[in-house]
Amino acid sequence: MTSNVRPETMQRITTPELAKAFIDEQIAAVRAQVGDKKVLLALSGGVDSSVVAALLIRAIGKQLVCIHVNHGLMRKGESEDVIRVFGEQMDANLIYVDATDRYLDLLAGVSEPERKRKIIGEEFIKIFDEEAAKLEGISFLAQGTIYPDILESKGVKAHHNVGGLPEEMDMELVEPVKLLFKDEVRVVGEALGLPHSMVYRQPFPGPGLGVRCLGAITRDRLNALREADAILREEFDKNGLAGKVWQYFIAVPDMKSVGVKDGKRYEGWPAIIRAVNTTDAMTATIEEIPYPVLHKITDRITHEVPGINRVCFDLTPKPIATIEWE
């Protein structure tokens, strides 16, 4: 077991060569730790878990069992990307659980943000437990812990601990990137051959679109949010903003306003654009988006997404507003 303290002599991983040396070192360490036993990983599709999965596949192949739970609150195409990259291209031992109905049924009528978060987190643990209990001979649990998690909590962050796993599993942790900073994890991910879009995926909260579909989640409004968010991301990519803005997304509140369609009045939801820059997520500034781009996004969302008839731009920095709406 390695220490949880990054040695002062450890060089910052900034180049493919340094990344390759780190990968080779970790492959040897993982093989020595794991032997011929099996390892379980909750693969969210986020940067850290994806890099850990790719590294472990290279080290131990089918001894790694990945579980991807689709809670129905992912952004457009994200679960499909996980299946394509890990299941098809890397031939991972991947268990895919589509729990969309299970989550949305539990969340029906729940409008209080903290209660929504709690339901989403607890249900993930239940599903992970159920899937883990079906497996034989799992001796290790892999986690995408990175160094800031350790620094922030003087230990592993609560939301990284899967917890609640059957005690008889008695699993030891495998945490190959726990001494790396986020920028280093990305360099390692590229060196492992992961798609650039996955390695540079912007921060995405655990509850996903659940905290951006404001108030009680309904399937129609969640679907409108997912489609509007995909348009925003596509236009930011096209216009060179994806690399300049730290986090950008759409929030759709549970309220309607009057609009006009085909010469008739109708009610629709507003889509609210949030685009912020930050270095530490403690404070955030508003990125200035060119008006022609905002006009294009507005035109596309209001014409392509059923149910949305306005687009608003959130100009509030943090403080006073948090980055997420809920």
Q: Is the pLDDT of residue 16 over 90?
A: yes
The two tokens of residue 77 are: 């195409």
**Taking the CB of residue 92, how many other CB atoms lie within 10 A of it?**
24
Asked whether the beta carbons of 257 and 309 are under 8 A apart, the reply is yes
Q: Considering only the C-alpha atoms of the chain, give the largest distance between any 2 of them, rounded to a whole number of Å.
A: 70
Distance between CA 45 and CA 68 in Å, rounded? Answer: 8
Which residue, chain included where needed, has tokens 């990175």? 146
- Residue-level pLDDT at 158: 42
Q: For residue 256, give the amino acid letter.
A: K
Provide the pLDDT confidence category of residue 262 given band limits of 50, 70 and 90: confident
Domains of the chain: 16-199 (3.40.50.620), 212-313 (3.30.300.10)
Torsion, Cα of 50, 51, 56, 57 (10° steps): 60
The percentage of the chain sitting over the pLDDT mark of 70, rounded to a whole number, equals 94
For 24-92, where are the E strands, in sequence order? 38-42, 64-70
- DSSP H helical ranges for 91-218: 100-107, 113-133, 147-153, 182-191, 196-199
Q: Give the predicted TM-score (pTM) of the model.
A: 0.87
C-alpha count within 13 angstroms, C-beta hemisphere, residue 250: 31
Report the pLDDT averaged over residues 222-236: 98
Q: Is 26 helix (H, G, I), strand (E, B) or coil?
A: helix
Per the model's pLDDT, the better-predicted residue between 262 and 119 turns out to be 119
pLDDT tens figures, 132-179 = 999 998 999 999 999 988 887 754 344 444 444 445 456 899 999 999
pLDDT tens figures, 117-129 = 999 999 999 999 9
Q: Is the pLDDT of residue 114 over 80?
A: yes
Burial of 144 (0-12, 13-18, 19+ CB in 10 A): buried
3-state secondary structure string, 129-157? HHHHHCCCCEEEEECCCCHHHHHHHCCCC
- Residue-level pLDDT at 157: 40
DSSP bridge partners of 64: 39
The two tokens of residue 263 are: 């010469």
Asked whether the beta carbons of 59 and 25 are under 8 A apart, the reply is no
Asked whether the beta carbons of 234 and 226 are under 8 A apart, the reply is no
- Residue-level pLDDT at 279: 82
Asked whether the beta carbons of 50 and 198 are under 8 A apart, the reply is yes
- Residue-level pLDDT at 47: 93
Distance between CA 225 and CA 271 in Å, rounded? Answer: 7
- Torsion 151-285-210-48 (CA) sign: negative
Asked whether the beta carbons of 73 and 120 are under 8 A apart, the reply is yes
